[in-house]
Amino acid sequence: MSRIGKAPITIPAGVEVTFKDAVMTVKGKKGELSQHIDASVSVSIEDNVITFARATDAPDHRSKHGLYRALVFNMIHGVSEGFKKEMEVIGVGYRANAVGQQLELALGFSHAIILEIPKEVNVTTVTEKGKAPVVTLESYDKQLLGQVAAKIRSFRKPEPYKGKGIRFVGEEIRRKAGKSAGKK
């Protein structure tokens, strides 16, 4: 049996969960999310606890059991507490600036990259002298937040020789040695 799927979810105070016509809707102080639940997974909500069960032990049903439990848990956590990702822009002359829902990135190309951020995601930038600019993304939707962060990172992935590029705060980049010294 799925260890993740078996775990019950406790609904925190201030979060309203409804399940109707195979659609789970979660409302909280940060926003509202909904997710379609496959018919092979049954959901029961009793005394502020959500439990999931599957129809059979078929591999497809087993994978969906854990999947939908994790998706609903992330929805509840998102609308109550929210999610946050921080990214560093490392490189000489690399800059990041957020104006409203637009993120402007100078990454060594001939032009600045301007990215329109969805309204569900809040973006802020911090630039301190002597440190790499930090882009902070916050949202109640974990999937959308990860998608936006991956898009920003794709503009200039960290390279292994000098470590330049956009990386998540705390991420370890595997470094490589450069070319050996010249001919004898």
pTM for the complete prediction?
Answer: 0.88
Residues 89 and 31 in one domain: no
Q: Is residue 4's pLDDT more than 90?
A: no
Using the Cα atoms of residue 109, residue 153, residue 97 and residue 119 in order, give the sign of their dihedral. positive
Euclidean distance between CA atoms 169 and 182, whole angstroms: 36
> Where is the domain boundary, 32, 60, 80?
80
Q: Is residue 182's pLDDT more than 80?
A: no
Please check whether residue 180 lies inside any domain of the structure.
Answer: no
Q: Are 158 and 173 in contact (CB under 8 A)?
A: yes
Cα-atom radius of gyration of the chain, to the nearest Å? 21
Alpha carbons within 13 angstroms on the beta-carbon side of residue 132 total 21
Of the candidates 58, 40, 42, 62, the one whose C-alpha atom is nearest the C-alpha of residue 50 is: 42
Residues 75 and 97 in one domain: no
Residues 72 and 90 in one domain: no
41-46 vs 49-54, strand pairing mode: antiparallel
Please check whether residue 130 lies inside any domain of the structure.
Answer: yes
Q: Are 29 and 80 in contact (CB under 8 A)?
A: yes
Euclidean distance between CA atoms 140 and 119, whole angstroms: 11
- What is the percent of the chain with per-residue pLDDT over 70, rounded to a whole number? 97
Residues 48 and 118 in one domain: no
Q: What is the pLDDT of residues 119-162, one digit of tens each?
A: 999 999 999 998 999 999 999 999 999 999 999 999 999 999 99
CATH number at residue 118: 3.90.930.12
Please check whether residue 177 lies inside any domain of the structure.
Answer: no
Please check whether residue 178 lies inside any domain of the structure.
Answer: no
> Where is the domain boundary, 80, 109, 130?
80
Residues 27 and 56 in one domain: yes
pLDDT at 2: 58
Residues 75 and 121 in one domain: no
Residues 76 and 26 in one domain: yes
Mean pLDDT of the residues in the chain: 92
Domain membership of residue 108 as a residue range: 83-168
pLDDT at 1: 46
Residues 99 and 159 in one domain: yes
Please check whether residue 24 lies inside any domain of the structure.
Answer: yes
Please check whether residue 58 lies inside any domain of the structure.
Answer: yes
Residues 76 and 98 in one domain: no
pLDDT at 141: 96
Please check whether residue 49 lies inside any domain of the structure.
Answer: yes
CA–CA–CA angle 114, 117, 122 (5° rounding): 125
Euclidean distance between CA atoms 73 and 114, whole angstroms: 33
> Where is the domain boundary, 32, 64, 80?
80
Q: Is residue 7's pLDDT more than 80?
A: yes
Residues 107 and 36 in one domain: no
Q: Are 103 and 114 in contact (CB under 8 A)?
A: yes
Average pLDDT for residues 105-126, to the nearest whole number? 95
pLDDT at 153: 96
Q: How many domains does the chain contain in total?
A: 2
